[in-house]
Amino acid sequence: MDRSIKIGSSQRRSPVLVTILLIATILLIALDQAGMLGDLRVRSTSLLTPVLTLVHQASTKLSEVVQNTSNPSQLESELASLREENGRLKAENLRVTQLNLEVTRLRQQLRIETDHPWQLVGGDISAFGFDAGRRQVLLSIGSEQGVKAGMAVIARESSSPPALIGIVDEVGPRSASVLLITDFSSTVTGRIYRADSTVDGIVQGQWQRGSRIRLEDIPRDQQIEAGDVVVTAGLSAAFGADLPRAVIPPNIPIGIVEQVQTISQSQQAEIRPYVDSDRIRYAWVIINVGG
């Protein structure tokens, strides 16, 4: 019954096998000490390291679970501290996100101000179309930041140039309502630069008519075509007149001509605005035009 005292063939081979293995270990040690195993260690270690890492992670997690389950009060206090930390990290994360957004916007502003002679003040768009009949947005900046009625408001989307989206309509100390250029009551002088001439017209909003904006009152003999870029003409500013639109500088991009129609003695062009005012969340008011 007791097999340990029976000596089988495998047991008879044992001394030989043990001797061989001992000699093998001695040889291995000698070879390793002599540096004759080359990069065997490096290779074997790199082979086993991923497995070792996995096993270590698994065993660490397991031991943590065991430790936690064996001490529920510690687990509860740890949970409470983790919740507290989680809340703190969430708040911090929000703050970092806000700061990142602010940095991005300031960078954009700096780029615009570098490329154009405009001095800008940026603000969040805090409300959209609060008057159902008009296309308006409410900006979170006002007279305290130097905003005045009639000033041009620009914004930009991912690949678009900074483009006109509206004109400041009413100003409060810390807010300003902006009449979007797509509103029917919005009229701004627009200009198209051609190779040898300029074409001026009136940019009027068409939202209430089911469209976006249109360049109107273009003399029939002026040549315009789809793809032409429409910018502000800034005619009131050029005259230096004390008019509501006198602070809109020239050459603010508005959009691209999509379609041209001839009506009796004049022409009109449908314009695709560079910026979709429904999608923007931040805009700048041009408060000053430098040299």
Partner 1 sequence: MGDNQRRRLEEIIAREIWLAGVMIFIALLQVALPPQSINLIPNILLLLVVCQSLLQGSGNASRWAFYGGIGLDICSGTAFGVHAMALIIAVLTARLVLMRISRTSWITPLAGVPLGMIAYYSTMAGLISLLVAPIDLVRYSVIAVLPELLATIIPALPFFLAMRWFIERQRGAVAIDIY
Residue 168 has a CB neighbour count (10 Å cut-off) of: 25
Cβ 131 vs Cβ 207: under 8 Å: no
The CA distance from 109 to 107, in Å, is 5
Strands 187-193 vs 198-205: parallel, antiparallel or unpaired? antiparallel
Q: Which stretch binds partner 1 (CB under 8 A): 19-27, 197-205, 222-230, 238-246?
A: 19-27
- Angstrom distance (rounded) from CA 102 to CA 90: 18
Q: How far is the CB of 20 from partner 1 (least distance, A)?
A: 9
C-beta separation of 150 from 168 below 8 A:
yes
- How far, in Å, CA of 249 to CA of 117, rounded? 10
Is there binding between residue 59 and partner 1 (CB under 8 A)? yes
Q: How far apart are CA 41 and CA 29, in angstroms?
A: 12
Q: Which lies closer to partner 1 via its Cβ, residue 28 or residue 263? A: 28
Which of 28-36, 140-148, 201-209, 271-279 is the region at the interface with partner 1 (rule: CB under 8 A)? 28-36
Return the range that interacts with partner 1 (CB under 8 A); candidates 15-23, 158-166, 210-218, 220-228: 15-23
Query: Per rule CB under 8 A, is residue 32 in the interface with partner 1?
Result: yes
Q: Is 56 in the site for partner 1 (CB under 8 A)?
A: yes
Please name the residue ranges forming H helices in the chain.
9-33, 40-70, 72-115, 235-239
**Smallest distance from partner 1 to CB 75, Å:** 14
Instruction: Rule CB under 8 A: choose which of 64, 131, 144, 170 binds partner 1.
Output: 64
Size of the chain, expressed as the number of residues it contains: 291
- Does residue 265 touch partner 1 according to CB under 8 A? no
| C-beta closer to partner 1: residue 22 or 99 | 22
> Residue from 21, 89, 94, 99 that binds partner 1 (CB under 8 A)?
21
- 71 binding partner 1? (CB under 8 A): no
CA angle 132, 137, 141 (to 5 degrees): 145
Stretch of residues binding partner 1 (CB under 8 A), selected from 56-64, 213-221, 258-266, 274-282? 56-64
Q: Which helix (H) or strand (E) holds 189?
A: strand 187-193
Binding site for partner 1 (CB under 8 A): 1-5, 10-11, 13-15, 17-18, 21-22, 24-29, 31-33, 37, 40-41, 44-45, 48, 51-52, 55-56, 59-60, 63-64, 66-67
